[in-house]
Amino acid sequence: MKQRFQDFRQEFETVRRLAWEAASVPTDPDLIERDNSELLTHISPPVDRLMRWYFRLDVEGIEHVPRGKAMLVSNHEAGVSFLPVVGMGARWVMTRGTEERVVPLMHDAMFRVPYVGNLLAQFGAVRATPDNALAVLNRGHKLYVCPGGNLEAFRPFKERYRIKFGGHRGWARIALRSQTPVVPIVFIGGHETFFVLHDGRDLVRRLGLKRFMRVDTFPIFLGLPWGIGVGPMFHVPLPAKCKVRFLEPIEPPTLAPGNDDDDDKLAELYERVTSTMQHTLTEMSRRRRFLVMG
């Protein structure tokens, strides 16, 4: 036991050192081509072990992801502190290497957080804009998106087993126009790392916060270390049992020549992806017996 604890401390120190070094380097959040293979190769094994230990993280179905360009679409859990997705990224690198790049799209507010923004960019994330999304796919990379944004990330605890994209269809339009296969990814457990009491959507509407902060929610939640947290802020996650499942790719409908805006086919793709994810999340939720413990 003592040796295992010493090994854990050593791995934690390695992750901390490498992350701090990466966070200290100013990086352009719109830069798509970035040589971060050495960083990812060194940091992924200890991150994977930490995520396995803390969240007992299981990752299934990576073999479903096709070679070449693809859009990876997942639900968004655990508020701003979405650490299971870091574990998923580490498992991807250890399974598929660094040649197949996965480029996450991030809200530009995250890049304005000191050090955190640099760290995200060093790991390969880019600012969430349509131009950046298309540029990633045109280069043949994998694009990772969470269409639900903070609406889904801070959905009330009672809705933790609900896919909640809120009608956001920009991702589907890009997949349709670029004829990119969509790989749904379903997370479960992250929404038990804290407990959202109310999403504060009425407050956002009344105060006009969406215009200034680009947020859909201003939540009230129970979580560490605050006890009660107010607003879209970080929290220290509880060690909830987490699981990630990659599903089989969904090919977008074919557009007629010269028609880039077929609303019926856009709605069809949106519905196919969200309904498939909801069916899977519901099935996964039936296997959970206890809060946090899974």
Tell me the pLDDT tens digit for each residue of 121-147.
888 899 999 999 999 999 999 999 999
User: Looking at 73-87, 138-152, 253-267, which range is the least confident one?
Assistant: 253-267
**Mean pLDDT confidence for 58-85:** 95
pLDDT of 201 > 90? The answer is no
**Mean pLDDT confidence for 33-48:** 87
pLDDT of 12 > 90? The answer is no
**Mean pLDDT confidence for 136-159:** 95
More confident call, 174 vs 8: 174
pLDDT of 212 > 80? The answer is no
Domains of the chain in start order, with CATH, are 2-194+239-285 (3.40.1130)
Q: What does the pLDDT read at residue 1?
A: 63
pLDDT of 7 > 90? The answer is no
Confidence tier at 90 by pLDDT (50, 70, 90) = very high
Q: What does the pLDDT read at residue 258?
A: 67
Confidence tier at 60 by pLDDT (50, 70, 90) = very high
pTM value is 0.91
Mean pLDDT of the chain: 90
Query: Which DSSP string corresponds to the chain?
Result: -HHHHHHHHHHHHHHHHHHHHHHTS---TT------HHHHHHHHHHHHHHHHHHH--EEE-GGGSPSS-EEEEE---STT--THHHHHHHHHHHHH-SSS-EEEEE-HHHHTSTTHHHHHHHTT-EE--HHHHHHHHHTT-EEEE-TTHHHHHT--GGGTTS---TT--HHHHHHHHHT--EEEEEEESGGGSSEEEE--HHHHHHHTHHHHH--S---EEEEBTTEEEESS---B------EEEEPPPBPPPPPPTT----HHHHHHHHHHHHHHHHHHHHHHHTT--STTT-
**Mean pLDDT confidence for 55-78:** 96
User: Looking at 40-49, 153-162, 256-265, which range is the least confident one?
Assistant: 256-265
**Mean pLDDT confidence for 97-110:** 90
